[in-house]
Structure 1
Amino acid sequence: MTDYLLLAVAAFGAGVINTIAGGGTFLTFPALVFTGVPPVVANATSAVAVFPGYLGGALGFRRELGGHDRRALMRLGAITLAGGLAGSLLLLVSSNRAFSVVVPFLLLFATLIFLFGAQVRAWAARHSRAVTPQGALGLFAVSVYGGYFNGGLGIVLLALFSLWGMTAIHQMNGLKNGLSFALSSISVVTFAVAGFVEWPQAIVMMVAATLGGYAGAPIARAAPVWAVRAFIAVIGFGMSAVFFWRLAAG
């Protein structure tokens, strides 16, 4: 019961954080590992736990998604599904030892992307001419990362859209949420079919994350942005340090 309470609290916090700024994976994945779930299965279960939030985000931005060309949207969706499937399959063939080696680096990368997301997007905007608009290679690579780990995916997608030359933030957010939902859908199906999901934990966390997402709206309006970002950064760097320590000790 203590483990389930920890998982519920972590998932609730992840729902709140995802509503405010993103970064809920920093709570759900470590919580699952600390309660004894093997790293690869913990990553898959974490992806399932936060999945409802992507659905809500996609529905919330359906008007902005409708502003994109339908054929282009279908093409981008197909690339995202292919990359997400490749990343998910890569996770399935990764041993727990191999995944444990790369996790600290992935957590650190995701934390830095979250913390310096504005600078990354600004740099991407300045170099937009260097990348083909709506290019398949960049989106496929980002989708592989999202299918494999998912942390910081939203910010990486926004940076990619800036490289494509997009500037309308609401349309960018709409596309980000739509593609994130598509990617998460294929990941969840892949992990479920492969039997890599701890369903009792996942269901508890899905409910808690949904409640946290609902509670996050008033918190987002009341909490200073800098305080939220600092809190997530502390969690991200702290979890990175813990997993580096586990790697060195193991």
Structure 2
Amino acid sequence: MVPDVQDLILLGAGALGGAMNAMAGGGSFVTLPALIGAGVPSVAANASSTIALYPGGLASAWVYRGGLGRIAGVSMRPVLAATLAGGLVGALLLLWTPGLLFDRVLPWLLLVATLALAFGRRVGPALRARFQAGVATLLIVQFLLGIYGGYFGGAVGLMMMAAWNLIDGADVKALNPARTLLVSAANTIAVLCFAISGIVHWRAALLVAVGAAAGGYLGAVVGKRLPAALVQLATVLFAASMTVTFFLRAYR
């Protein structure tokens, strides 16, 4: 059977979203509008988008698997545990959010994600010059980011790297393996909650997931070669346009 135009759009959105997540983050800026455009209600679209991008995140984590290490001197286990706990809280909050309320909240979440994409890499050094943070701060921040990741997750990987850079000033590129693993960890809990709840539109989610798996792997490979500044600029411009669109959709 020949796929229709909507199926091709969902496949393409998945591929682009998976590649964006692998290179700079912000893949949900593509997949969420595509799912809403396909007629999926916003809360269900957000849950379906999380599930659809999950395989792409795992593919990216596989590419980066050799570079995992400690974060700010802390072993991965407590950081992973904090992320998983936060992801559970965030996923449950999403399931308890009425659709009309989420439509109002969504543009603000997109705005936060856009600001993180635009300025996240600069926040860490600026704050580190003024504040001292320790292990407890890292785990608390990671828990809160896990909540955001389970609830929405746009640009959560960049938020994580900004927080880690604030604590110990680690090289941003060296943080990519941990970023992909922990974003996938928060999504793992969310995926389980969404699947059990029955909110997921599986056909649409699977179409996006097929594209995201390929896009996530290729994006991680290509991301090692493209200039970081170019990737970030393109991502921020696209994210800003989607944010404006959703503000108009919610408040006009």
TM normalised by structure 2 equals 0.88
1:186 aligns with 2:186: no
Whether the aligned pair in 2 keeps the contact of 1:124 and 1:160 (CA below 8 Å) is no
1:132 aligns with 2:134: yes
Shift of 1:234: 2.4
User: Which residue does 1:84 correspond to in 2?
Assistant: 87
Whether the aligned pair in 2 keeps the contact of 1:41 and 1:198 (CA below 8 Å) is yes
Deviations 1:121-141 (A, max 9, x none): 322432451x22253321111
User: Which residue does 1:231 correspond to in 2?
Assistant: 234
The match for 2:202 among 187, 199, 202 is 199
Deviations 1:166-216 (A, max 9, x none): 524455323222211211111111110111211111111111112223443
Amino acid in the other structure paired with 2:44: V
Q: Distance in 1 between matches of 2:51 and 2:165?
A: 28
RMSD of the alignment, in Å?
2.4
1:172 aligns with 2:175: yes
Shift of 1:150: 0.4
Shift of 1:217: 5.4
Q: Distance in 1 between matches of 2:168 and 2:103?
A: 36
User: Which residue does 1:122 correspond to in 2?
Assistant: 125
Structure 1 residues 143 and 236, CA gap change in structure 2 (3 angstroms): same
Q: Distance in 2 between matches of 1:232 and 1:69?
A: 27
Q: Distance in 1 between matches of 2:102 and 2:135?
A: 33
Structure 1 residues 170 and 20, CA gap change in structure 2 (3 angstroms): closer
SS at match of 1:117: helix
The match for 1:21 among 13, 20, 24 is 24
Amino acid in the other structure paired with 1:76: V
1:3 aligns with 2:1: no
Amino acid in the other structure paired with 2:135: P
Amino acid in the other structure paired with 1:174: P
Whether the aligned pair in 1 keeps the contact of 2:53 and 2:212 (CA below 8 Å) is yes
The match for 2:101 among 84, 87, 98 is 98
Structure 1 residues 181 and 70, CA gap change in structure 2 (3 angstroms): farther
Q: Distance in 2 between matches of 1:44 and 1:139?
A: 21
Amino acid in the other structure paired with 1:100: D
Query: Which 5+ residue runs of structure 1 have no aligned equivalent?
Result: none
Query: Which 5+ residue runs of structure 2 have no aligned equivalent?
Result: none
Shift of 1:87: 0.3
Structure 1 residues 218 and 80, CA gap change in structure 2 (3 angstroms): closer
Within a 5 Å distance, the mapping from 1:47-86 to structure 2 comes to 47-66=50-69, 72-86=75-89
Q: Distance in 2 between matches of 1:87 and 1:181?
A: 14
1:242 aligns with 2:245: yes
Q: Distance in 2 between matches of 1:22 and 1:183?
A: 15
TM normalised by structure 1 equals 0.89
Structure 1 residues 140 and 218, CA gap change in structure 2 (3 angstroms): closer
Shift of 1:164: 2.4
Deviations 1:219-240 (A, max 9, x none): 5467554443333222211111
Deviations 1:71-102 (A, max 9, x none): 84222211111110000000000011111111
User: Which residue does 1:216 correspond to in 2?
Assistant: 219
Structure 1 residues 67 and 152, CA gap change in structure 2 (3 angstroms): closer
SS at match of 2:97: coil
Whether the aligned pair in 2 keeps the contact of 1:133 and 1:165 (CA below 8 Å) is no
Amino acid in the other structure paired with 1:61: Y
Deviations 1:21-46 (A, max 9, x none): 22211100111111111110101111
